[in-house]
Amino acid sequence: MEMISTVVVLVIKSLIFIVGMFLAAAYLTLIERKFAGHVQQRPGPLHVGFHGLLQPIADALKVLTKEDLVPNNVDKVLFYLASLMAFVPAIMILAVIPFGDPIKIFGFEIKPYITDINVGLILALAFGSISIYGVIFAGWASNSKYPMIGGLRKAAVLIGYEVALGFAMVGPIMMAGSFSLREIVQAQEGFFGAFIWYQPLAFIVILFAILAETGRTPFDVQEAEAELVSGYNTEYSGMKFGLFPLAEWYIGTFVLSAIAVILFFGGWKGPHIFGAFSPFIWFFLKVFMMFMFFLWVHWTLPRYRVDQITEIAWKVMLPLSLLNIFITAIIIMVKG
Amino acid sequence: MVKLKYVERPKLSLIEKLFFLDFIKGLKVTFKNLIKRTVTTKYPYEKLTPPKRFRGTHAHRVKDGNEPPSFSVLEKFMDINTGESRCVACYMCQQACPVPSLFRIEAIQLPNGKKKVVRFDMNLLNCLYCGLCVDACPVDCLIMTDIYETAKYQREKCVIHMDDMSERGKDFDRRRLKEPDRIWIDDQERIKLWGQIKWS
């Protein structure tokens, strides 16, 4: 009985998370389009609903009802698998992200996270990397030049930034003494307890790695519109195409921003000024700020070459993250 | 002999490298643009009036007493009433045109010996709106108007004829003949969008 109720609660919670993430991702597209528009001094979506508020729904209907073309010579299995491979792991990272402490409503204890495992951060890293396989598979399976180049570029970039990302996350983990995201948040007490004050180097490396992982502009070599037609997703159409930007640009960026917020900005911690929901509000506010920062960088910078990215990753970011580990270790040893 | 001058890329100083100063400058530029007003028009709802020199759909000026002297020389050979197109079927426009086949001009000789233009068709689907025909016209008849919405549902409707061209010419002259010939116009929408342009 205990088992069944746990399963039911978990299923309901997962559904809420997945549906919520879908809706959030749809509206993140609107935010991105509005932001990109205003950066270029144009208003963005304006006519569907008040200031384009219904635009994501119209887009979703459009992309779902579009004809789903599969070219003749593609590797069918990988071609179908790739879009799911990009999308499912990206949304699965949500399973380990805690949105707040357990709260009591009408006598029930509600945990605003699906699971709190002691290797949460490693799981998130692993799913993030599997999500990239989708891009590489898509490039390979399309049996076409541009997607192939896009996929290979992503593979080249992946090797560089994943190492730096993994090492950069070691700093906060050492300070918190745990891999569990919830315990990392609980280790950060107060405004000056946030790890951003102690780990600025790790933060910079992680910013770099998140930009590279989600394929946002300074490192968007895999879909460089000006060089490769649309990169790895050139041969895709319909919802199979729609899943790629959704997974990479929106869900991926959102979830990795959440992880960055948990690691460096104290997660849901904040003054209790919004009543019972103040942890959620603080968490989403921080994630939103982080997301907007990524958008801002995306719509500002031009694109690096692949060799430049690997150079930065191996020659700058990896030494920085190692240096960070070294300094953190010494400080922890000295302070005891 | 071409002289080549190689310019070294300026090296970043240590401060610039450490604190991503160039990066922050770029972010500043986009932020400034973000809070600026948009410069777009909501096209189907707001329409900008093009400048007078705009090269839109073609039109014929009519005989209304403002003709150049070259017209009065030719006038006595022509059968043109006041208010009709002042075309004299000289084919200069067709000669000047890069795609001459888009013109179809026909003229007949009346029993009294005068020349009458019975047909002046232009297939605008082939037209590239270069304006050479306008420059070639010796009697200031063929002009280009500020009408730019030329899309049609049937191909035949893109062919313009002499009578509707003269109607369009009358309309254009009524609206904009008196206007000084400038590149920019004092349009309310244009001022609203881009401010007053000093040098116009």
pLDDT per position as a tens digit, B39-89: 888 888 888 778 888 889 999 998 888 888 888 888 888 888 888 888 888
Which of A33, A40, A303 has the most B C-beta neighbours within 10 Å, making it the best mutation to test the interface with B?
A: A40
Does one domain contain both A56 and A180?
no
Phi/psi of residue A258, each to 5°? -60, -40
* CA distances from residue A48 to A17, A57, A64 in whole angstroms, order as listed: 27, 9, 18
Best probe of the A interface among B30, B37, B45, B194, by most A CBs < 10 A, is B30
B160: enclosing H helix or E strand: strand B159-160
Q: Is residue A111 part of a domain?
A: no
The answer to whether residue A107 is domain-embedded is no
Q: Is residue A108 part of a domain?
A: no
- Region B168-179 average pLDDT: 87
Residues in chain A with CB shorter than 8 Å from the CB of B29 are: 300
> pLDDT, tens digit, for every residue of B127-147?
999 989 999 998 889 999 988
Question: Is A285 within the bounds of a domain?
Answer: yes
Best residue in B38, B41, B45 to probe A by mutation, most A CBs within 10 Å?
A: B38
Residues A246, A163: one domain? yes
DSSP A281: H
A61 and A77 share one domain: no
DSSP A195-215: GGGT-HHHHHHHHHHHHHHTT
Contact A247, A86 (CB under 8 A): yes
- Judge whether B21 lies within some domain: no
Is residue A106 one of the residues assigned to a domain?
A: no
Distance of CA A249 to the CA centre of its chain: 8
Closest Cα in chain A, distance from residue B38 (Å):
4
Q: Is B39 on the interface with A (CB under 8 A)?
A: yes
Same domain, A22 and A146: no
- Cα separation values, A110 from A22, A105, A163, Å: 22, 7, 36
Mutate to test the interface with A, among B17, B34, B41 (most CBs of A within 10 A): B34
| Mean pLDDT value across chain B | 85
Chain B residues with CB under 8 Å of A34 CB are: none
Q: Which residue of B has its CA nearest to A297?
A: B27
Instruction: Mark whether A259 and A174 lie in a shared domain.
Output: yes
Please indicate, yes or no, if residue A20 is contained in any of the structural domains. yes
Place of tokens 């770099």: A208
Put simply, whether B42 touches A (Cβ < 8 Å) is: yes
* CATH number of B62's domain: 3.30.70.3270
Q: Are residues A182 and A283 in the same domain?
A: yes
Q: Is A208 in contact with A199 (CB distance < 8 Å)? A: no
Which residues of chain B are within 8 Å of residue A37 when distances are taken between CB atoms? Answer: 38
* E strands present in chain A: 103-105, 108-110
Q: Is the pLDDT of residue B185 over 70?
A: no
Q: Is B188 on the interface with A (CB under 8 A)?
A: no
Please state the domain count of chain A: 2
pTM assigned to the model: 0.80
Q: Residues A311, A273: contact at Cβ < 8 Å? A: no
Classify burial at B24, counting beta carbons within 10 Å of its beta carbon; exposed 0-12, middle 13-18, buried 19 or more: exposed
A38 Cβ under 8 Å from any chain B Cβ: yes
Flag whether A139 is in a domain. yes
The per-residue pLDDT for B13 is 82
**Do A170 and A38 fall into the same domain?**
no
Angstrom distance (rounded) from CA A146 to CA A139: 8
pLDDT band of residue B200 (cuts 50, 70, 90) is: very low
Residues B143 and B60: their CA atoms lie apart, in Å, by: 6
Assigned domain for B95 exists? yes
Domain of residue A37: give its range: 1-65
Domain of residue B78: give its range: 58-176
Inter-chain contact A39–B40, Cβ cutoff 8 Å? no
pLDDT value of position B98? 92
Interface subset of A 293-332, CB within 8 angstroms of B: 296-297, 299-301
Q: Do B42 and A46 touch (CB under 8 A)?
A: yes
pLDDT at B192 over 70: no
> Total structural domains in chain B?
1
Angle between the A145-168 and A120-141 helix axes, to the nearest 10 degrees? 170
The helix or strand, by DSSP H or E, that contains position B106, with its residue range, turns out to be: strand B103-109
pLDDT of residue A86: 84
Option in B26, B36, B38 nearest A300 (CB): B26
Looking at CA atoms only, how far is residue B26 from chain A in angstroms?
6
User: Does residue A185 sit in the same domain as residue A254?
Assistant: yes
Do A35 and A19 reside in the same domain of the chain?
yes
* Interchain contact, A300 vs B36, CB within 8 Å: no
- A39 to chain B, closest Cα gap in Å: 4
Q: Please list every residue in chain A whose beta carbon sits closer than 8 Å to the beta carbon of residue B27.
A: 296-297, 300
- Residue A105 falls within a domain, yes or no? no
**% of chain B surpassing 90 pLDDT:** 26
Q: Does the residue B27 lie in any domain?
A: no
Whether residues A39 and A91 share a domain: the answer is no
Token match 């730019």: residue?
B148
Is A35 an interface residue toward B (CB < 8 Å)? yes
- Residues of chain A with C-beta less than 8 angstroms from the C-beta of B30: 39, 296, 299-300
Instruction: Give the A:B interface size as CB pairs under 8 Å.
Output: 32
| Burial letters A38-50, b for 16+ CB under 10 A, else e | bbeeebbbbeeee
Co-location of A56 and A181 in the same domain:
no
Q: Let me know: does B124 contact B144? Beta carbons within 8 Å.
A: no
The distance of A276 to chain B (nearest Cα, Å) reads: 34
Q: Same domain for A12 and A130?
A: no
Residue B34 within any structural domain of the chain: no
Asked, for residue B70, whether it belongs to a domain, the answer is yes
pLDDT recorded at residue A48: 84
Question: Within a domain: residue B192?
Answer: no
Asked whether the beta carbons of residue B27 and residue A43 sit closer than 8 angstroms, the reply is: no
Q: How far apart are CA B80 and CA B114, in angstroms?
A: 9
B40 touching A (Cβ < 8 Å): yes
Residue B106 covered by a domain: yes
Say yes or no for a CB contact (<8 Å) between B30 and A46: no
**A292–B contact, CB cutoff 8 A:** no
Using 50 as the pLDDT threshold, list the residues of chain A that sit under it.
none
Kindly state the average pLDDT of the residues B109-130: 91
Min distance A44 CA to chain B CA atoms (Å): 10
Question: Complex ipTM, two decimals?
Answer: 0.75
- B186 domain-assigned: no
Chain A's closest residue to B40, CA to CA, is A42
Which of A39, A204, A295, A320 is the mutation pick for testing B, counting most B CBs within 10 A? A39
